[in-house]
């Protein structure tokens, strides 16, 4: 009896600790489109959407109960008794934060997996711009600790759920699963069965609605558009991850099943999930430097309509995974390893490769593929086999090109110039990567005409200059370009204008940053601070793809200022456009139909931009260099709305600036940004927002910008 009593007392004491009321703090809430009220038992957030529906989310201030008491529209509950769900898997980095060829499960330290522990004692509500954040303390995910934050946006029912956490441990790599578990008593049926309605788009893009099987399992879903929804209460709710930020870089975009659902004994769960590997032993996961505030985000979109309507509303945030057409622009994406040529040689030029309809459906006007890399073809062959494959390469790309789609042949070389680098010629060029002692650098072949055999950097660049070729450093400072372009900065070829610059891709992943692709930005900024005039080229860098892949999450694209898509015989117009620097790069959710940047005096720059966006925006930034250091001016955009199209003008102090670039980032981590301009060239971008025609003035010798 004494032991039993002690047990009861101990259990009671723990219950008392964890059952402490949650203390609300509303002191930082300001009057605005979103209001917050609290009582002894609840904290409520109240707002309206663009259709004038009235929304309310009520949080319980009793830590023994479900955190979200209800999400309602016009007084009718959609979600009741909901709990957030988080699970985190951690490991150790082996090669530094920028390493791609890393695999945390192979580290001797092993991996660990943690479910959330959540014991809130405080709820702080604050107005941030036109938004309201409600933050609960007491969240622990194994080695991570911090808070749980919900952000509400005026004019939309969109709610952002984030675990905002940090760790003290060094070299941490991780990924996370997240979700929301809700009461669904109306779905209960006899025999402990559930009649829930789960909706999603299958990998063919077709709407599916299923009734879950019996069981407590979390069921994996391979879906299109990264979203799953459920019928709930007076409407429905969908959950989805940030479209790009959630996906760390991989060579393959196979759909591993990133969504999940559960339905068991009166509760329904919806969420997102990641996987530790794809059986390639290359999976770098996400970075968590010590004390960095990682934002593990999930979006909730409740709707007053049925699940199919709510799913369609989610699709609008990514334009249904399509890069939309802008008058006066052509979309361009390089760096695809599709092994197309060897397949076309086997199947014939009439064969349509599976990647073409995928690219066209995504709104890719022109793609530059890089065959003969990592095992396909014979790039190091010194016989006619190499020339024959190059000849077939050009023929095959011409066969897939038409007035609506342009396929450009190029290669990712790894010889002589340092690291990996993209190489493209404006016409067929036949070359080999080495030559025998008795062979000349250039000769005439009876079948292929002029051919080259190169065996050093001077040969390579002489050929590139002779044939009007272009080069750029692919994935700088990581993968096969680790240490580059830093090691070739003093070479004559890197200083040549035909070495256009460096690639940009969202790699590696660090969810403490509001932006993507920090490595690539730092590279171009460092290079241009040394006096170079180099540009970024958005690149995808993936291998063979299919319509079922989760490709969009890994994508970015270049919007080039061209009135029409060039023909195959004039695809060098693509690279002439890149040389002008009048493009922008985007993940797709933010567009820059017109931008201008020009000096005002010696210490300031005027930035004007028309910004079209789907998610609410977070920041804009002007980044500039003075020849020694890189500086930035962050511009708060936390009063913007969903599905906005607005013109802005800012005067930014930029003392000593030699170059500058402009970027915009939204609350999901999606972005759009320009390439740099240079003060010493007196380059000023001037655009007419009505026609989105861009003009350039430049007095630097050797540049022809019109």
Q: What is the pLDDT of residue 700?
A: 28
Stretch (H or E) spanning 576: helix 572-580
Predicted local distance difference test score (pLDDT) of residue 19 = 64
| Buried residues in 620-640 as b, exposed as e (16+ CB within 10 A) | bbbbbbeeeebbbbebebbeb
| pLDDT tens readout for residues 195-249 | 899 999 999 999 999 999 888 999 999 999 999 999 999 999 999 999 999 999 9
* Cis peptide bond N-terminal to 485, omega within 30: yes
Secondary structure class of 82 (helix, strand, coil): strand
Q: Which long-range contacts (CB under 8 A, 24 or more apart) does 376-385 make?
A: 376/337, 376/339, 376/341, 376/342, 377/339, 377/341, 377/342, 379/411, 379/413, 379/433, 380/433, 380/434, 381/432, 382/432, 382/434, 382/435, 382/436, 382/453, 384/447
What one-character-per-residue DSSP string does 142-165 give? Answer: TTEEEEEEEEE-TBS--EEEEEEE
Q: Report the chain's terminal Cα–Cα distance, integer Å.
A: 92
Note the pLDDT of residue 279: 87
Q: Select from 205, 142, 201 the least CA-distant residue to 177.
A: 142
Same fold, 82-317 and 589-706: no
Find out whether 133 and 150 touch, Cβ atoms under 8 Å.
yes
CB-CB contact of 286 with 175 (8 Å)? yes
CA atoms within 13 A on the CB side of 94: 15
Q: Is residue 551 within 8 Å of residue 205, measured between CB atoms?
A: no
Backbone φ, ψ for residue 360 (5° rounding):
-65, -40
Average the pLDDT over 653-678 and give the result.
96
Of 684, 663, 521, nearest to 592 (Cα)?
A: 663
How far is Cα 77 from Cα 515, in angstroms, rounded to an integer? 36
pLDDT at 696 over 90: no
On average, the pLDDT of the chain sits at 93
Confidence of residue 702 (pLDDT cuts 50, 70, 90): very low
Give the count of beta carbons closer than 10 Å to the beta carbon of residue 173: 27
Q: Which CATH architecture has domain 589-706?
A: Sandwich (2.60)
What pairing do the DSSP bridges indicate for beta strands 294-303 and 235-240? antiparallel
Q: How many residues does the chain have?
A: 706
How confident is the model at residue 703, as a pLDDT? 26
**Topology classification of domain 82-317:** Beta-galactosidase; Chain A, domain 5 (2.70.98)
Given this model, what pLDDT does residue 281 score? Answer: 85
Chain centroid, CA 555 distance in Å: 6
Q: Which residues contact 514 (CB under 8 A, 6 or more apart)?
A: 618, 619, 665, 669
Instruction: Using only the alpha carbons of the chain, give its radius of gyration.
Output: 27
Q: Which long-range contacts (CB under 8 A, 24 or more apart) does 660-663 make?
A: 660/597, 660/605, 660/622, 660/623, 660/624, 660/625, 661/622, 661/623, 661/624, 662/595, 662/597, 662/607, 662/609, 662/620, 662/621, 662/622, 662/623, 663/515, 663/620, 663/621, 663/623
What confidence tens digit (pLDDT) does each residue in 73-83 have? 999 999 999 99
Give me the residue spans of the domains in the chain: 82-317, 589-706
Q: At residue 607, does pLDDT exceed 60?
A: yes
pLDDT digits (tens, 9 = 90+) for 54-94: 999 999 999 999 999 999 999 999 999 999 999 999 999 99
């Amino acid at each position: 009896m004494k032991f039993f009593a002690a047990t009861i007392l101990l259990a009671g004491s723990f219950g008392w600790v964890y059952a402490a009321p949650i203390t609300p703090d509303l002191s930082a809430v300001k009057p605005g489109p979103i209001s917050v009220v609290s009582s002894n038992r609840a904290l409520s957030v109240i707002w309206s959407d663009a259709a004038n529906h009235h929304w309310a989310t009520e949080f319980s201030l009793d830590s023994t109960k479900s955190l979200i008491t209800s999400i309602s529209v016009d007084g009718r509950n959609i979600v009741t008794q909901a709990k957030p769900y988080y699970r985190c898997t951690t490991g150790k980095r082996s090669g530094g934060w920028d390493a791609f060829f890393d695999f945390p499960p192979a580290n001797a330290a092993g991996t660990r997996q943690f479910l959330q522990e959540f014991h809130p004692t405080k709820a702080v509500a604050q107005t941030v711009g036109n938004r309201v954040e409600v933050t609960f303390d007491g969240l622990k995910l194994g080695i991570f600790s911090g808070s749980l934050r919900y952000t509400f946006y005026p004019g939309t029912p969109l709610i952002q759920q984030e675990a905002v956490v940090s760790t003290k441990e060094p070299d941490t790599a991780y990924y996370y699963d997240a979700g929301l578990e809700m009461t669904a008593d109306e779905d209960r049926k006899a025999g402990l069965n559930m009649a829930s309605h789960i909706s999603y788009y299958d990998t063919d893009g077709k709407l599916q609605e299923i009734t879950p099987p019996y069981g407590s399992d979390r069921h994996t879903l391979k879906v299109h558009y990264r979203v799953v929804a459920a019928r709930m209460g007076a409407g429905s709710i969908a959950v989805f991850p940030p479209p790009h930020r959630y996906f760390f870089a991989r060579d393959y975009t196979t759909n591993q099943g990133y969504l999940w659902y559960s339905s068991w004994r009166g509760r329904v769960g919806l969420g997102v999930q990641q996987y530790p590997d794809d059986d390639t032993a290359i999976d770098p996961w996400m970075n968590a430097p010590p004390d960095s505030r990682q934002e593990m985000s999930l979006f909730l979109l409740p709707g007053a309509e049925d699940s199919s309507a709510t799913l369609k509303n989610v699709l609008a945030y990514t334009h249904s995974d399509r890069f939309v057409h802008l008058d006066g622009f052509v979309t361009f994406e390089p760096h695809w390893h599709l092994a197309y040529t060897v397949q076309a040689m086997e199947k014939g030029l009439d064969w349509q490769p599976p990647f073409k309809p995928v690219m066209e459906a995504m709104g890719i006007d022109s793609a530059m593929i890089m065959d003969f890399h990592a095992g396909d073809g014979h790039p190091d062959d010194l016989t006619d086999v190499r020339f024959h494959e190059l000849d077939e390469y050009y023929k095959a790309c011409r066969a897939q090109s038409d007035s609506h789609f342009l396929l450009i042949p190029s290669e990712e070389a790894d010889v002589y110039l340092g690291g990996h680098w993209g190489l493209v010629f404006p016409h067929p060029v036949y070359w080999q990567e080495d030559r025998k002692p008795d062979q000349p650098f250039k000769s005439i072949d009876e079948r292929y005409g002029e051919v080259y055999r190169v065996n050093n950097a001077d040969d390579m660049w002489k050929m590139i200059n002779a044939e009007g070729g272009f080069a750029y450093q692919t994935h700088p400072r990581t993968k096969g370009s680790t240490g580059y372009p830093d090691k070739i900065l003093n070479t004559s070829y890197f200083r040549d204008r035909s070495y256009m610059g460096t690639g940009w891709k969202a790699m590696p992943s660090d969810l403490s940053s509001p932006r993507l692709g920090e490595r690539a930005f730092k590279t171009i900024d460092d290079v241009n601070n040394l006096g170079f005039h180099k540009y970024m080229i958005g690149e995808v860098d993936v291998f063979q793809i299919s319509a079922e892949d989760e490709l969009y999450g890994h994508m970015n694209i270049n919007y080039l200022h061209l009135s029409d898509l060039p023909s195959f015989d004039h695809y060098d117009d693509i690279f002439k456009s890149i040389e002008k620097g009048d493009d922008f790069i985007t993940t797709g959710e933010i567009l820059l139909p017109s931008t201008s940047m020009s000096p005002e005096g010696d210490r300031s720059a005027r930035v004007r931009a028309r910004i079209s966006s789907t998610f609410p925006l977070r920041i804009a930034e002007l980044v500039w260099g003075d020849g020694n250091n890189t500086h930035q001016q962050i511009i708060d955009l936390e009063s913007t709305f969903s599905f906005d199209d607005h013109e802005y003008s800012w005067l930014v102090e930029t003392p000593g600036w030699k170059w500058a670039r402009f970027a915009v980032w939204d609350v999901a981590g999606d972005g759009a940004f320009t390439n740099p301009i240079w003060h010493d060239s007196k380059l000023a971008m001037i655009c007419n927002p009505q026609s989105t025609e861009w003009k350039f003035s430049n007095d630097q010798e050797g540049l022809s910008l019109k």
